[in-house]
Amino acid sequence: MEDFEKLYLSHYPVVYGYLLRLCGDAHLAEEVTQEAFFRAMRSIRSYRGECRFSAWVCQIAKHELFREMKRRKRTLPPDSLAAFADPASDVESHTEDQDMAARIRERIDALEEPYQAVFRMRVLEERPFAELAAHFGKSESWARVTYHRAKLRIQEGLQ
């Protein structure tokens, strides 16, 4: 237990900072960080050491954040939704989001291999770079560079 406390103290700032950048709410980030460490402590045996401990806890934290945000959205009183935006602007932003998503999918589909496979495996399947490297029989640096180049090609096509 003492060892886990050391891990908590040394990795808390990284996990908290990550969540704060994701949600922009200091209170929510603190709450979810504590929950993520609690879950990590309960499942510490499943940590295989294939990535940094902070990266492992950040993944747990990200899933906790999404779960909490979904829970909070479900518990909002119906009349409070009107305060966020009028229905016309909501439909407009939703349509813009759908258009952007379609453009991104087109750009991903247009990527040549191995860029397309690396990007899909990294983003959609959330695979670590070490796993991508092993899958392709290349170095971890190769996986990082290939992913970065794929991301740049997608961004260039969207401008």
Mean pLDDT in consecutive groups of 10 residues from the start of the chain, 159 residues: 72 86 85 88 78 84 86 54 41 56 82 88 81 89 91 80
Domain with CATH 1.10.1740.10 in the chain: 1-75
- CA 95 to chain CA centroid, Å, is 23
Q: Write down the residue that tokens 């180049």 correspond to.
A: 149
What's the half-sphere exposure (Cβ side, CA atoms, 13 Å) at 102? Answer: 6
Tokens of 124: 């959609």
Q: Which CATH number, 1.10.1740.10, 2.30.33.40, 1.10.1040.10, 2.60.40.420, labels domain 1-75?
A: 1.10.1740.10
Domain 86-159: which CATH class?
mainly alpha
Rounded-to-integer distance, Cα 53 and Cα 55, Å: 5
pLDDT of residue 137: 92
Domain with CATH 1.10.10.10 in the chain: 86-159
